[in-house]
Amino acid sequence: MARWHEMAGFQQLSSARPALWASASAEWSGWAGELGQAAAAVNEETRGPIAANAWTGLAAAAAADRIAAAADALEAAEAELGAISDVLQGMAEALTVARDTLAEATALAARSGIRIGPDGTVSAVPVVRLPSAALTGQLAAAQSQDADQVRQLITTAVRQATQADQKAAAELDLLARHAGTASFLAAYNTDVDDASRTELEMITGSIPKGPPGLVSRWWSGLPVAEQKRLMLAAPATLAALPGIPASVQAGLRGTTGVDRVKLVQYALDNWNNTTDDVDTDNCTNFVSDALAAAGMRQQGAFPLGRTNSRDDWYKGPAPFETNRIARHLARADRSYSWADAADLHTFLTSNNSKQVPYSQAQPGDIMFFQRPGQGIYHSVVVTAVVDGLVYYTQHTPGQVDADWSLRQTLDSDRGIDSRVIVVQPAQPMPVPTPKPW
Amino acid sequence: MADTGFEVRLEVVAKAGASARKVAARVASSALRQPGDSTRQVISQPGWESAAALERCLSAWEARVRVLSAQAQQVGDNLGFTTRNYAEAEAKALAIIAQVRAQLDGPVA
């Protein structure tokens, strides 16, 4: 029975067109945009004038509530359709990887005189009898070995496509059931989050977890462009996978003295971990903990108390407890730059880390959110980049692999001008020791 | 007792209603044009669980968007009725005032 499913998957995969899914994703994104514009029009041209005292009184208040609800429902729909677009994009990415795996199987089969049937069955073309029986035997053995690899690659490709298909189906069914969601916040906090996470899971799930030999062959068979896409989309998975070349894994960790893979892994493992929370909003405490886990050296000294020098970045040793005094101590033993987004940005950019354009963002970068008039107010960890779009992971509230461009679009349609600053963290230069008197 | 006083600028409320009706038309039209050919082609691919789920999604969302369009239309219509009702009330009040004035200023016997 399992064989029937796999072979049916082979036929589908052979004729699958990832670009079609990507194009469908763009269509849903476009539809989301239209609804976002409709919501903005309701807010600006209907809700706004009435809110500006064109109509007051009890009836006006009731009407204003109704108009606000209509706008909210349109914004919720925009968010949900954006979530559908994310899922379809994940399917396109995963199918691309699966098709590349299948292409590698086909290429190996062609080189080795192996036939792949229309249903995916693998059979060796009989070896021509050579003058030496020993040579004929060697050739047949090599061909048999290659046939095994071709089978493994085909099975891997079908599994890659199947896992993505099942994940996408589950998420799309959820999004179909949630079509009645009337609150933007409910849509954003549940479905948009889930969808972008599912998109990344589909991509990560398309990476084979087989024996190192298979992984190595799979990787070397991928086009260079696809390798680069996966390095940006799933760095932590690739860095831990036996069979991925050591040079690739080292490249993922970076050369700035701050281990990008550890930074991403810390974020993915701890985005919802509240055991070390000391403030109501712990976004930057979380980012600092991730930087420390990635090996960034602390500067400044806890015994000095809480400092806000641009060259200080530290967290003292006080253990966190749930009682009020310990919580106070825990807050007091860290530099402002450890806990405050704007101060962390100042520390990083004053100490060897580099601010880069959004288009150059990579997993393991730190992203700061800012608004005109408000400045920097939030920090997150970039955990993936897919087709130039940044996915980030944050704490309080916890979000994993959230889609920044979708958030920015949704904010923009609601009249919020959200921007980001991307910083590539690097080990700070040692602060010179003060000369003795 | 609740404050039942009110103020209304009829032309602004009327314009706000007209705008909501335009939005309703735009949203309804989006459901006819979107998502488009690629989505329909994906849906027509047999054997993919996600293609079947996408079809269910499309069906649910087409229905939902029609509801959203109807809601915006209702907001627009209600604002239109409101404007007309206020205008009629104003006209009636003016007529009553005029009538009372006419009675007060009527011909002296």
Q: What pLDDT score does A6 carry? A: 40
Q: Residue A102 in contact with residue A162, Cβ under 8 Å?
A: no
- Identify the bridge partners of residue A354 per DSSP, sorted by sequence position: A424
Chain A within 8 Å of B54 (Cβ-Cβ)? yes
A229-247: string of b/e by CB count within 10 Å (b at 16+)? bbbbbbbbbbbebebbeee
Separation CA B91–CA B89 (nearest Å)? 5
Q: What pLDDT score does A140 carry? A: 82
Q: Cβ B34–A20 below 8 Å, yes or no?
A: no
Strand-strand pairing, A375-386 and A55-56:
unpaired
Q: What pLDDT score does A396 carry? A: 87
Classify residue B4: in a domain, yes or no: no
Residue at A385: amino acid letter = V
Identify all chain B residues contacting A51, using CB atoms and an 8 Å cutoff: none
Overall number of domains in chain B:
1
Q: What pLDDT score does B37 carry? A: 96
Chain B within 8 Å of A42 (Cβ-Cβ)? yes
Separation CA A151–CA B83 (nearest Å)? 73
Chain A residue whose CA is closest to B12: A54
Classify residue B109: in a domain, yes or no: no
Q: What is the DSSP string of A321-380?
A: -SSHHHHHHHHHTB-HHHH-HHHHHHHHHHTT-EEE-GGG--TT-EEEEEETTTEEEEEE
Identify all chain B residues contacting A37, using CB atoms and an 8 Å cutoff: 26
Q: Which residues contact residue A68 at a Cβ distance below 8 angstroms, ignoring those fewer than 6 apart? A: A47
Across A65-209, where does the E strand assignment appear?
114-116, 122-124
∠ CA A207-A210-A211 to the nearest 5 degrees?
A: 135
Q: Cβ A46–B6 below 8 Å, yes or no?
A: no
Alpha helix (H) residue ranges in A206-340: 212-221, 224-233, 235-239, 246-253, 260-270, 283-293, 324-332, 336-339
Helix, strand or coil for residue A119?
A: coil
CB nearest to A70's CB, from B35, B49, B71: B71
Separation CA A258–CA A288 (nearest Å)? 12
Q: Which two tokens stand for residue A384?
A: 């993936």
Q: What pLDDT score does A60 carry? A: 92
Q: What is the DSSP string of B47-86?
A: T-HHHHHHHHHHHHHHHHHHHHHHHHHHHHHHHHHHHHHH
Separation CA A191–CA A87 (nearest Å)? 11
**Per-domain boundaries in chain A:** 2-206, 265-424
Number of cross-chain residue pairs from A and B with Cβ atoms under 8 Å apart: 177
- Residue A377's nearest CA partner among A427, A418, A334, A408 is A418
Chain A within 8 Å of B35 (Cβ-Cβ)? yes
Q: Cβ A45–B5 below 8 Å, yes or no?
A: no
Q: Which residues contact residue A97 at a Cβ distance below 8 angstroms, ignoring those fewer than 6 apart? A: A160, A203, A206, A207, A222, A226, A230
Q: Cβ B78–A63 below 8 Å, yes or no?
A: yes
Chunk chain B into consecutive blocks of 10 residues (it has 109) and report each block's average pLDDT, rounded to whole numbers. 75 96 97 92 93 97 97 97 94 94 79
In chain B, which among 56-95 make CB contacts under 8 A with chain A? Answer: 56-57, 59-61, 63-65, 68, 71-72, 75-76, 78-79, 82
Q: Cβ B57–A46 below 8 Å, yes or no?
A: no
Q: Which two tokens stand for residue A243?
A: 């069979």
Q: Cβ B6–A74 below 8 Å, yes or no?
A: no
Q: Which residues contact residue B104 at a Cβ distance below 8 angstroms, ignoring those fewer than 6 apart? A: none
Helix (H) or strand (E) holding B30: helix B10-33
Q: Which two tokens stand for residue A253?
A: 């960790």
User: Which residue range(s) make up the domain with B59?
Assistant: 10-104
Residue at A268: amino acid letter = L
Taking only the tens of pLDDT, chain A with its 437 residues reads 334 334 348 999 999 999 999 999 999 999 999 999 999 999 999 999 998 888 999 999 999 999 999 999 999 999 999 999 999 999 999 999 999 999 999 999 999 889 999 989 999 877 666 677 777 788 888 888 999 999 999 999 999 999 999 999 999 999 999 999 999 999 998 899 899 999 999 999 999 988 999 999 999 999 999 999 999 999 999 999 999 999 999 999 999 999 999 999 999 999 999 887 877 889 999 999 999 999 999 988 655 566 667 888 988 765 554 555 665 565 667 889 999 999 999 999 999 999 999 999 999 999 999 998 889 999 999 999 999 999 999 998 899 999 999 999 888 888 889 999 999 999 997 655 655 54
Q: Which of A5, A55, A163, A173 to mutate to test the interface with B (most CBs of B within 10 A)?
A: A55
Chain A within 8 Å of B36 (Cβ-Cβ)? yes
What is the ipTM, given to two decimal places? 0.91
- Identify the bridge partners of residue A55 per DSSP, sorted by sequence position: B8
Chain B residue whose CA is closest to A33: B30
Q: What pLDDT score does A331 carry? A: 61
